[in-house]
């Protein structure tokens, strides 16, 4: 399908596709169904990504990236998503990708030197601390309970977080906390950089969860008990945490969509190859009309998802928040990719649920996408609110409708 991406985008995607096919997928096949791969394996993949000019394309060159626009890197993100190791190899993996973007947007020069550049280089890892155990922040971020109280030239942090992706491996957490409890949470929360080795930071556990963990991220639970960090660790302006988070989450959700689109694309590719080879009831499976139409439906829906993501990225590039286009992209892509991977498993039968193919890992991994970065219902709420915003202005449409 032709999307008329820029020459830069097409070149990046072509190099990424070749890298994934020639290097990443062969490495992935050695670890299917297993636990996290070793850091040495990821380091080797990243070194090769640098040689092939596909390493961290979304961050400015002055900080160690390639300096490309979001719209130009989206096709590369899709190529990366075709393998469970692709995003980590090209340093476009969550949560570091979104955290690097946030540091680049609002970080001080000192923060960029200390945290951004080592992140880009792959020397450290990061986490984003938002979600809390009930009754704290989850799908409703207004319930944020963690606090960061000023004491002299320091913030004193107390709270409880979980589902902190990559937290157990992180060197720093971008922590969302209440800094002004006397105003609406959206106007009284800040993001503070918290080193994980600071006194009072307790990593309670990695939460057992559905899905593969080949990239070694995990989802950690933390307690913060009187943790002190200097005020210089405030990221951006005080009490602007939610505004900054929106700047982070919009692009991050689109990159997530493209990574999972790549996963779905590879799943369908595997299914089509299997169907063309597997014979049953007098013909190969790819000649069975019902399966052909099922594949056609998913190809169509994936095309729609890719188009929606590109449109949302264009809106962001124009300076818009694009909350509705981003929400539409996220909820649609999440469901389409889940359905496409489910179909691929079904088409491949026993081979689909085996660990000989990556489909079982994909199947486990994709389900979380409908929850992370905003559950389906959160995004549907955004879309519905916009849809009904001016409904009362069109009651004239009902003038000839009788009252029952």
**Would you state the pLDDT for residue 241?**
97
**Would you state the pLDDT for residue 208?**
92
**Would you state the pLDDT for residue 397?**
86
Domains of the chain: residue spans and CATH:
7-93 (1.10.540.10), 126-239 (2.40.110.10), 242-387 (1.20.140.10)
Would the pTM count as exceeding 0.95? no
Strand partners for 103: none
**Would you state the pLDDT for residue 398?**
87
Mean pLDDT in runs of 10 for the chain (404 residues)? 93 98 95 80 97 98 97 98 96 96 97 98 97 95 97 98 96 98 96 98 95 79 98 98 93 96 98 97 95 98 98 95 96 98 98 95 94 95 95 87 76
Question: Strand 147-151 relative to strand 154-165: parallel, antiparallel, unpaired?
Answer: antiparallel
Q: Which of 74, 61, 71 is nearest to 104 (CA)?
A: 61
């Amino acid at each position: 399908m032709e999307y008329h991406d820029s020459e830069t985008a097409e070149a990046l995607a072509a190099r990424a596709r070749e890298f994934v096919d020639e290097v990443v997928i062969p490495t992935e096949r050695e670890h299917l169904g297993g636990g996290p791969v070793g850091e040495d394996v990821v380091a080797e993949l990243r070194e090769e990504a640098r040689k092939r000019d596909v390493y961290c394309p979304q961050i400015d060159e002055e900080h160690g990236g390639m300096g490309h626009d979001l719209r130009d890197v989206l096709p590369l993100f899709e190529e990366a998503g075709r393998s469970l190791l692709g995003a980590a190899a090209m340093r476009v993996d969550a949560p570091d990708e979104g955290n690097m973007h946030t540091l680049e947007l609002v970080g001080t020069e000192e923060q960029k030197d200390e945290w951004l550049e080592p992140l880009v280089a792959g020397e450290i890892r990061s986490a984003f601390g938002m979600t809390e155990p009930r009754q704290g922040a989850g799908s409703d971020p207004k319930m944020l309970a963690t606090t960061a109280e000023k004491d002299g030239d320091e913030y004193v942090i107390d709270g409880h977080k979980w589902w902190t992706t990559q937290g157990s491996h992180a060197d720093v957490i971008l922590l969302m906390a209440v800094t002004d409890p006397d105003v609406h949470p959206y106007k009284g929360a800040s993001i503070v950089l918290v080193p994980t080795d600071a006194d009072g930071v307790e990593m309670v556990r990695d939460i057992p969860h559905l899905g593969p963990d080949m990239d070694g991220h995990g989802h950690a639970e933390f307690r913060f008990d009187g943790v002190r960090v200097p005020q210089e660790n405030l990221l951006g302006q005080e009490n602007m945490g939610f505004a900054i988070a929106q700047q982070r989450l919009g692009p991050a959700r689109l990159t997530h969509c493209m990574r999972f689109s790549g996963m779905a694309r590879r799943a369908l590719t595997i299914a089509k190859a299997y169907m063309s080879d597997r014979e049953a009831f007098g013909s190969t499976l790819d000649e069975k009309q019902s399966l052909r139409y099922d594949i056609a439906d998913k190809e169509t829906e994936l095309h729609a998802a890719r188009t929606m993501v590109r449109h949302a990225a264009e809106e962001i590039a124009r300076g818009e928040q694009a909350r509705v286009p981003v929400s539409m992209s996220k909820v649609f892509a999440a469901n389409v990719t889940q359905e496409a991977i489910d179909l691929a498993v079904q088409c491949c039968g026993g081979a689909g649920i085996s660990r000989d193919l990556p489909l079982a890992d994909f199947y486990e991994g994709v389900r979380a996408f409908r929850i992370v970065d905003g559950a389906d219902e959160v995004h549907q709420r955004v879309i519905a609110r916009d849809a009904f915003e001016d409904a009362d202005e069109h009651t004239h449409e009902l003038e000839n409708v009788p009252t029952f």
